[in-house]
Amino acid sequence: MMQAGSTLDEFLEQHEACDREDLRALLADIAVACIDLSDLVRRGELAGVLGAAGQENVQGEEQKKLDIIANDVFIELTQATGRVAGLASEEMDNHYPIPAQHKRGRYLLTFDPLDGSSNIDVNGATGTIFSITEHAAETAPVDDDFLQSGRKQVCAGYCLYSSASMLVITLGDGVAGFTLDNKRNAFVLTHPSMSVPSATNEFAINAAYSEHWQAPVKRYISACVAGKNGPIGKAFNMRWAGSMVGDIHRILCRGGIFMYPLDERMIKEGKQGKLRLLYEANPMGMLIEQAGGMAHTGLVSILDIAPDNLHQRVPVLMGSKEEVQRVVEYHANNK
Ligand code: P6P
């Protein structure tokens, strides 16, 4: 295992799962994009990047200026490198084809350029989430080529923009965390092997929607708040960052269960959840599983889902195995 203190480049050079120069180079490109975004987030109003963009994305969500800027940064830093065959993101209806003047590479990069952007104007945690899969064909990809199950990811990661900016990645053999050294303008390995404790007493859910929850979720949260005298027999704490990156990072550091379940409100709207499979649930699910946790919808493992569209939504339960397993059992008993 690499010692803390190595830079991301040194880590990738020596990481056997990263035996492809083009994958190492793509991760270096992603790191540069995250450093640029970290600087913009950190400067906030001074950089003139706060506030609404005055338009909606394909999800019908109000876009922040920084959502669009972040998406453009990723496109600009990756489209001409010859490492990617195509890009897809939360902010684009369809995939972004690599312009004809640039050589295509073998990787498909799917990303949420600025997760938790509703936090940006109040200086809360935000992040970038990314997922890398392969495009086997020589021909240019189409949208359907991005529809690969989470098990096909060759790399997944996020960059958290918070007190420190941290890049956390997995290449399929563990999870490594890098802290941005602003003096060196480089990510430095600080968390060589992140793991999720199997037990926890901390849950993350937006409790404002409790009236809409289905029976298994209502049963679980009631059991948590019942504390020592409840069916789980221990007192619980609650956290909700409003940014999946912020919540999942906390869980990778100290355990917990993150929940964005399907609820009756979504069912009425014909939705399968809030969070998106390809650029939120899959990359975070790979990180959580690689760190020894569990990533589930309540009915199936997230990484086993065969995607049916770029912006497919899924229910999300992920984190400490014991608690996720408990919620899965409540779903199996459907009560
Ligand atoms: P709510 C951010 O918009 C996001 O996609 C996730 O990062 C976050 O966990 C969730 O939605 C927050 O949703 O309904 O609490 O605002």
pLDDT one digit per residue (tens) for the chain, 335 residues: 677 889 999 999 888 767 789 999 999 999 999 999 999 999 999 998 898 989 988 778 888 899 999 999 999 999 999 999 999 999 999 999 999 999 999 999 999 999 998 999 999 999 999 999 999 999 999 999 999 999 999 999 999 999 999 999 999 999 999 999 999 999 999 999 999 999 999 999 999 999 999 999 999 999 999 999 999 999 999 999 999 999 999 999 999 999 999 999 999 999 999 999 999 999 999 999 999 999 999 999 999 999 999 999 999 999 999 999 999 999 998 86
Cα 90 from Cα 77, distance rounded (Å): 17
List the one residue out of 221, 219, 220 whose CA is nearest residue 208.
221
257-260 vs 202-204, strand pairing mode? parallel
d(CA 162, CA 195): 20
* Domains within the chain, CATH numbers bracketed: 8-191 (3.30.540.10), 202-333 (3.40.190.80)
β-bridge partners, 323: none
Q: Report how far ligand 1's centroid is from the alpha carbon of 17 (Å).
A: 32
* For helices 321-332 and 215-225, angle between their N-to-C axes, nearest 10 degrees: 140
209 by DSSP, 3-state: which? helix
CA 256 remoteness from chain centre: 16
CA 22 to ligand 1 center in whole angstroms: 33
- Best CA proximity match to 160, nearest among 174, 179, 176: 179
CA 304 to ligand 1 center in whole angstroms: 23
21: phi then psi, degrees, rounded to nearest 5: -60, -40
In whole angstroms, what is the distance from residue 129 CA to residue 60 CA?
Answer: 20
Pocket, ligand 1, Cβ cutoff 6 A: 115-116, 118, 206, 242-244, 274-275
Find out whether 247 and 241 touch, Cβ atoms under 8 Å.
Answer: yes
Which atom of ligand 1 is nearest to 208's Cα?
15
Minimal CA–CA distance to 244: which of 331, 114, 89, 152?
114
Which has the closest alpha carbon to 175: 160, 154, 200, 157?
Answer: 157
